[in-house]
Amino acid sequence: MILSFRWYGESDPVTLDKIRQVPVLKGIVSALYDVPLGETWPLEKIESLKAAVERKGFVLSAIESIPVHENIKLGRPDRDVLIDKYCASIRNMGKAGVPVLCYNFMPVFDWTRSNMAMPLPDGSNALSYDDVEVLKMDLSKGTKDLPGWSTSYDAKELRALLDGYKELSEEGLWENLKYFLEKTVPVAEESNVKMAIHPDDPPWSIFGLPRIIRDEASYDRFVTLVDSPNNGFSLCSGSLGARPDNDLPAMIRKFGGMGRIHFAHVRNVKITGKGAFHETAHPTESGSLNMFEIMKAYADTGFTGPMRPDHGRMIWGETGKPGYGLYDRALGAMYLAGLWEALQQKK
Ligand code: DNO
């Protein structure tokens, strides 16, 4: 296992110099943030990102993410051109020697929350989600007023997207995912890149949009779309864990045992009601998930890929990108490293 940390590049206030003072971290997970959506990632830029990370003593353990253009997900006529560009990015990742590609297939919205700074009783702040709050959100003005949403769609663009997905439905989205994988996975095989789809977060439909990567049944279906070891998962415990019917240790054993988990996001979450949860500190006692059993499942299946602590709370007065401050993620890294060390002794 390569314990890693997400870094948002040179403009991230959480610098590599700070990250390297967290004793247990070996890998950095990052992306190129200046390539327009849909364009090919240039080899030189990937190489220089890798060199920057290596200069500080880390490996670039995964790319998170190369976003998938909405027109690929919607199956619009220009998808072949966009998929060719995506394939070229995968080839360049392979040439640069970056082994894992995290991406998602969530329509329009990536991870979504209703409150970016919910106060917890200990004085920290965490991200939270409640279906009831989300239903009240006004989409008529586009995405710019939504909490934490960075891609900007104006009212017209957003309406067209929402209508497009309504027509498409869940089955159509599965078909378009299969189409995308049939073209990209062979390229990933040739390039020695493992593709790792991130689950939908929250793992259920929001705003009437289809969201399909959400539970064990969808994982079962996903692996058959293209049956290749390069077609796997970024298993995110915090995302899938918001559904009480997801037995995470069992899913890790099953899909890890098949060699299909290529990247592990490990964090806890507290389920507070139907369609409602908030994020917590990483330890088991802080939330609804049994973190020891999750880590044990990774250890028992001999997980060798990158693993990272995930969203942290804001603690000790830190301000910054919600979920991606330094302090609580560093605590999370230490906790995961402690569990992992103990689990290795037991073997
Ligand atoms: C949230 C992240 C996601 C993830 C993408 C992968 O913090 O885990 O935004 O990077 O869904 O494409």
Ligand 1 neighbour 110 (Cβ under 6 A) = yes
Ligand 1 neighbour 111 (Cβ under 6 A) = yes
- 3-state SS, one letter per residue, for the chain: CEEEEECCCCCCCCCHHHHCCCCCCCEEEECCCCCCCCCCCCHHHHHHHHHHHHHCCCEEEEEECCCCCHHHHCCCCCHHHHHHHHHHHHHHHHHHCCCEEEECCCCCCCCCCCEEEEECCCCCEEEEEEHHHHHCCCCCCCCCCCCCCCCCCCHHHHHHHHHHHHHHHHHHHHHHHHHHHHHHHHHHHHHCCEEEECCCCCCCCCCCCCCCCCCHHHHHHHHHHCCCCCEEEEEEHHHHCCCCCCCHHHHHHHHHHCCCEEEEEECCEEEEECCEEEECCCCHHHCCCCHHHHHHHHHHCCCCCEEEECCCCECCCCCCCCCCCCHHHHHHHHHHHHHHHHHHHHC
Give the pLDDT confidence score for residue 145 in this predicted structure: 63
CATH code for the domain of 328:
3.20.20.150
Q: 346 CA to middle of ligand 1, Å?
A: 32
- pLDDT band per the 50, 70, 90 thresholds, residue 142: confident
Give the pLDDT confidence score for residue 191 in this predicted structure: 98
Average pLDDT over residues 238-263: 98
Average pLDDT over residues 79-87: 98
Q: 265 CA to middle of ligand 1, Å?
A: 9
Ligand 1 neighbour 192 (Cβ under 6 A) = no
Q: What is the pTM of this model?
A: 0.96
- Domain assignment present for residue 278? The answer is no
- Domain assignment present for residue 98? The answer is yes
- pLDDT band per the 50, 70, 90 thresholds, residue 276: very high
- Domain assignment present for residue 122? The answer is no
Ligand 1 neighbour 323 (Cβ under 6 A) = yes
Q: 111 CA to middle of ligand 1, Å?
A: 6
Give the pLDDT confidence score for residue 149 in this predicted structure: 59
Give the pLDDT confidence score for residue 210 in this predicted structure: 94
Domains of the chain: total: 1
Q: What is the pLDDT of residues 145-192, one digit of tens each?
A: 666 556 778 889 889 999 999 999 999 999 999 999 999 999 999 999
- pLDDT band per the 50, 70, 90 thresholds, residue 137: confident
Give the pLDDT confidence score for residue 185 in this predicted structure: 98
Tell me: pLDDT of 199 over 70: yes
Give the pLDDT confidence score for residue 5 in this predicted structure: 98
Give the pLDDT confidence score for residue 110 in this predicted structure: 87
Query: What is the residue range of 309's domain?
Result: 2-106+171-238+247-266+290-346
- Domain assignment present for residue 85? The answer is yes
The residues annotated with a catalytic role in the active site are 198, 236, 265, 310-311, 324
Share of the chain above pLDDT 90, in %: 90
- Domain assignment present for residue 195? The answer is yes
- pLDDT band per the 50, 70, 90 thresholds, residue 141: confident
Tell me: pLDDT of 144 over 80: no
Share of the chain above pLDDT 70, in %: 97
* Nearest protein CA to atom 3 of ligand 1, as residue: 111
Which residue among 12, 14, 102, 151 has the greatest number of ligand 1 atoms within 8 angstroms of its CB, and so is best to mutate? Answer: 102
Ligand 1 neighbour 65 (Cβ under 6 A) = yes
Give the pLDDT confidence score for residue 147 in this predicted structure: 61
- Domain assignment present for residue 137? The answer is no
Average pLDDT over residues 64-70: 96
Ligand 1 neighbour 237 (Cβ under 6 A) = no
- Domain assignment present for residue 337? The answer is yes
Average pLDDT over residues 11-35: 97
- Domain assignment present for residue 227? The answer is yes
Give the pLDDT confidence score for residue 193 in this predicted structure: 98
Q: What is the pLDDT of residues 296-338, one digit of tens each?
A: 999 999 999 999 999 999 999 999 999 999 999 999 999 999 9
Give the pLDDT confidence score for residue 148 in this predicted structure: 55
